[in-house]
Amino acid sequence: MKTWAIRFATERPKLIYTLVLLAVVVLGAFIARIQIDTDPENMLPATQADRLFHNAIEDRFTLHDAIVIGMVNEKDPNGIYNVASLAALHSLTQAILALDGVIAPDLMSLAVTDNIDQQGPGTIRFEWMMRDAPATSSAALEIRDKVSRLPLLLDTLVSGDGKAAAIYVPIASKDLSYPLSIEIRALMDKIDTDDAFHITGLPVAEDTFGHDMFVQMGISAPLAGLMIYLLMLYFFRSVPLVIVPMLVALATIVMTMGLMIGSGFTVHIMSSMIPIFLMPIAVVDSVHVMSEFADRYRPGDDARQIISEIIDHLFTPMLFTSLTSAVGFLSLLLTPIPPVQIFGAFVAFGILLAFVLTIVLIPAYVVRMNPAALAKLAARSKTPHTDTLLARLLRLGGRFAIRRAKLITGITVLLIAISIAGVSRIDINDNPVRWFKANNAIRVADRVLNEHFAGTYDAFFVLTHRDPDARSEFIASVEALLANLPQPAAGLLRELLYDRDDASDYYGTLIAAIEDALFAADAASVDTLENVLALAEAAQRDSKYFQRPDILQRIADIQRVLADSGYVGKTNALTDVVKVVNRELRGGSDDEYRIPATAAAVAQTLLQYQSSHRPQDLWHMVTPDFSSTAIWLQIKSGDNQDMSQVVEFLDNYLAANPLPANIEARWAGKTFINVVWQNTMVSGMLMSLLGAFAFVFVMMAFLFRNPKLGLLAMVPLSVTILGAYGLIGWIGKDYDMPIAVLSSLTLGLSVDFAIHFIERTRDFLRSSGSFEVARQKMMEEPARAIARNAIVIAIGFTPLFFAPLVPYITVGAFMAGIMTLSGVTTLFLLPALISLAGPWLFQGIGKRNSFAAINAEEKD
């Protein structure tokens, strides 16, 4: 295949050009169909259990994604409780309600909330909290007093200090969030008060993120490409030599992205980084080839012959570096996070594509160069190599590594120990909002709103009562009675008795049918039917589990311990509704703020709550059959660690204070979902890394036909990975999504250097038989190639420091770090180790170490 490829490339360059161009154009055309996906939920497979549950809960309690608007007044001593601010809040709310795509009935704002209170003794009043904006400051302060009595509003719609108000705008579809946020911003801009306005919320964050991703792909990635180009130009001082690797990289990126988008995959934050990852990998191989060609070509030589030889001799190491890098990324398939898997698969594809392009496109390019250009290339690339600062440093370093091999090995061992300690200190934590820079409007809004309110991060602790026995017992006891009933009544009731339609009101439907039957019944059946009715009514009352006062008290207890824990800003639940309505029904004094004594009293209290302008609000907290209820937790931070802390705290509490049997307790909510995929990511990444590590080792052992050399090849990447993650542990940077994924890049790139180093060392050993000669030669061209590659990649990614999103900055910094580390370990640790254990490692090659051999080698 190798020879065939070389011949094909050198004999049919035009065909190669045409084919590559065609592929680039065809696949590249798909890029226009790009679909950005910024939904963090998609970090989990669509069928993942927690995600399914989360979605079921959103349906069950009609929860929507919401744009959150914050209004802050720091100037007025009464905060937002002044005539102008409340008028602004009112008019803004009304204007937003009229926008298309807003789910108006579920919008939450002081301007569309109900109040329940006393209108003189014995008279209860239900009314809009603020049907019109108040005209006087005393009326504005009255609203403050009313809000202070409604725990569901306080710290949710208005901050406890009165300085901030919030509007939650539920939207029908995420796609509308961008146009809606623009419209809302325009509405906010028209308001001329002392209030500062902020806009945030998950849909807005996702939109902004999607936009910034485009910016990154459109600006940061090409900028990184340009930087790499300039650096290579500096090293090689030849446009034709540098332009080909760039073209290989560009073709690789366009074809890979085109294929991915064309296959129907959305572009997620992970896959948006594919160009960045492919850029250095694609460039590296072709630089090796071009650089060697420039070294070897002399004017008058047959370019075709030379390039064929070079490809022939670099084919195996390049194939193996490509394969190992690809394996590193393919190992991401072991992480059960779809965007990570897609990323891994397509980067791996891109790496192999870059290999193929390198071995066909470069020969094709070289044979089509005219003799003058070839001569210029040879002349330019000749001189600077041997006497640059880099070259001198490498020679010096190489000598030092051999002389102080034990010292270097010792230092490495020490560094490994320190790194392991660092790794043990790593904090696993992520928060998608922190993917924005600190000065981003979303981060600012997030900070301001969480300073004032109980928290803009949502989680839901969902309790569901299941008692399958109750239903079957009921059916059995009714069946016993139905035997006494004549047809058609018995048949009709029996049909309803076995109805399993979940949406219908089972007992209510049955009771209605029993009552209808009673109306038409003869005297003989009346008693039986009344007994059936009594059974059905009792079963219906029992089935409304979360109407029971003792159970509501348990929920109130959970809310109290959560509030006391300090981990949670606030909780909202059915209990709060019951307590408020009970208090107002009983005259409004604070000691009546409690759950009434019987289930019937709770039911009647809720009947009153439902007599409001927004009866549907009840179903955000409990299902209409009262078999499931959700405690809404507001948390001030979206950090996974903070959410995990809440989960762990409640687990411990419930272990000590178990819930009654038949209650299933589960978490839902975006903040919780983030924890789930984060945990999946961490364990998955460890699997991926170990899997790749093992596979790469096997490949190395196979490549060198020597397990010891295979082991040696694993040294630089092991030291690099340990060092990089140790550093992260010591500097206290959170282990987040980008950091996790970079482990595979580290593995793939570090092993490349080691492969080239060991392969070339062995070549030199074979030809010279001398470790001394091999060492000296290694510190010349091969060392320079490795160092140049490391420097190009490390510095080439500095433009990422200016990316609008933190994960890209992290990638840039990490890339620089691992390139430096793996370059240094390859160039200094490997020679040191070889000098200590060379004969054992290389098994019989290079036992001789004589001048004869050196002379022979130099004549060669």
Partner 1 sequence: MRYTLVSMLTAIALTQGAGAETLDNADEIVARANLAAYYAGADGRSEVRMIISDAQGREQRRQFTVLRRDLDDAGDQSFLVVFSQPSDVRDTVFLVDKHVTREDDRWLYLPGLDLVKRISAGDKRTSFVGAHYFYEDVSGRRPAEDTHELVETSTDFYVLKHVPLDPRSVEFTSYVTWIDRSSFLPMKIDYTNAAGDVYRRVEVIEVIDVEGHPTVTASRVSDLQTGGRTDMQFRNIAYDLGIPADVFTERSLRNPPREWLQRPASR
Binding site for partner 1 (CB under 8 A): 59, 62, 94, 97-98, 103-105, 114, 119, 122-128, 131-132, 503-505, 507-509, 511-512, 515, 519, 537, 540-541, 544, 547, 582, 585-586, 596, 598-605, 607-608, 610-616, 618-619, 623-625
H-helix or E-strand spanning residue 67: strand 66-72
Closest to partner 1 by CB, 26 or 135: 135
Q: Integer distance in angstroms from the first to the last C-alpha of the chain? A: 30
Residue 819's Cβ-side half-sphere holds a number of Cα atoms within 13 Å equal to 23
Backbone angles phi, psi at 197, to 5 degrees: -115, 140
Could you tell me the smallest distance in angstroms from the CB atom of residue 461 to partner 1? Answer: 22
Which residue number, 126 or 649, has a Cβ lying nearer to partner 1?
126
CA angle 132, 134, 135 (to 5 degrees): 115
Cα–Cα dist 578/350, whole Å: 60
The verdict on whether omega for the bond into residue 121 sits within 30 degrees of 0, i.e. cis, is no
User: Two tokens at 5?
Assistant: 């490829």
Q: Which is nearer to partner 1, 94 or 767 (CB)?
A: 94
The pairs formed by 558-564 with CB atoms below 8 angstroms and a separation of 24 or more are 558/461, 558/631, 558/650, 558/653, 558/654, 559/631, 561/653, 562/631, 562/633, 562/646, 562/649, 562/650
DSSP letters along 502-554, please? SSS-HHHHHHHHHHHHHHH--HHHHHHHHHHHHHHHHHHHHH-GGG-HHHHHH
DSSP collapsed to 3 states, 182-248:
HHHHHHHHHCCCCCEEEEECHHHHHHHHHHHHHHHHHHHHHHHHHHHHHHHHHHHCCHHHHHHHHHH
Min separation Cβ 585 and partner 1, Å:
6
Nearest to 354 by CA among 327, 318, 328: 318
Nearer to partner 1, 63 or 749 (CB): 63
Smallest separation, CB 516 to partner 1 (Å): 9
Query: Burial of 239 by CB count in 10 Å (0-12 exposed, 13-18 middle, 19+ buried)?
Result: middle
In whole angstroms, the minimum distance from the beta carbon of 130 to partner 1 comes to 12
**Rounded CA gap, 449 and 433, in Å?**
13
> Smaller CB distance to partner 1: residue 126 or 234?
126
Dist. CA 333–CA 348, nearest whole Å: 11
Q: Name the minimum Å distance from CB 810 to partner 1.
A: 43
Q: How many CA atoms lie within 13 A of 19 on its CB side?
A: 12
- For residue 334, the surrounding DSSP H or E stretch is none
Cβ at position 822, least distance to partner 1 in Å: 56
* Residue closer to partner 1 (CB basis): 447 or 614: 614
Q: Is 259 helix (H, G, I), strand (E, B) or coil?
A: helix
Q: Closer CB to partner 1, residue 172 or residue 698?
A: 172
- Gap between the Cα atoms of 385 and 440, Å rounded: 46
Tell me the closest approach of the beta carbon of residue 105 to partner 1, in angstroms: 5
Whichever of 614 and 733 has its CB closer to partner 1, that residue is: 614
Residues facing 462 on adjacent strands: 630, 666
- Which of 90/198 has CB closer to partner 1? 90
φ/ψ of residue 559, rounded to 5: -60, -40
**Residue 490 beta carbon to partner 1: minimum distance, rounded to whole angstroms:** 22
In sequence order, what are the beta bridge partners of 436? 805
Residue 452's H or E segment, with its range, is helix 441-452
Nearest Cα residue to 110 out of 89, 137, 92 = 89
Q: CA-CA distances (angstroms) from residue 361 to 7, 247, 432, 640?
A: 12, 9, 41, 47
- Our CB check for partner 1 shows the closer of 14 and 500 to be 500
Least separation in angstroms between residue 544's CB and partner 1 is 7
d(CA 477, CA 491): 16
Minimum separation from the CB atom of position 606 to partner 1 (A) = 8
Residue 94 vs 484, nearer CB to partner 1: 94
Residue with Cβ nearer partner 1 (105 or 491): 105
Nearer to partner 1, 321 or 543 (CB): 543
Q: Judged by CB, which is closer to partner 1: 413, or 538?
A: 538
Q: How far is the CB of 83 from partner 1 (least distance, A)?
A: 17
CA–centroid distance for 672 within its chain: 13
Residue 668 three-state SS: strand
The answer to whether 667 and 462 have CB atoms below 8 angstroms apart is yes
Q: Round to whole Å and give the CA distance between 579 and 189.
A: 39
Distance CA 483, CA 551 (A): 36
Which CB atom, from 90 or from 762, has the smaller least distance to partner 1?
90
Closest CA to 196 of 165, 228, 235: 165
Q: Angle between the 303-330 and 338-367 helix axes, to the nearest 10 degrees?
A: 180
Smallest distance, partner 1 to C-beta of residue 202, A? 22
CB of 37 to partner 1, least distance (A): 27
Write down the least CB distance from residue 622 to partner 1, Å. 12
| Minimal distance, residue 80 CB to partner 1, in Å | 22
Nearer to partner 1, 62 or 645 (CB): 62
Q: In what order do the strands lie in the sheet with 628-635?
A: 570-572, 628-635, 457-465, 663-668
Distance of closest approach, residue 612 Cβ to partner 1, in angstroms: 6
| Integer Cα distance of 383 and 496 in angstroms | 94
In angstroms, give the least distance from the CB of 535 to partner 1: 11
CB of 119 to partner 1, least distance (A): 4
Q: The tokens of 458 are what?
A: 């949502």
Name the residue nearer to partner 1 (CB basis): 244 or 536. 536
Nearer to partner 1, 173 or 657 (CB): 173
Contact 16, 8 (CB under 8 A): yes
Q: What angle do CA 514, 519, 523 make, to 5 degrees?
A: 100
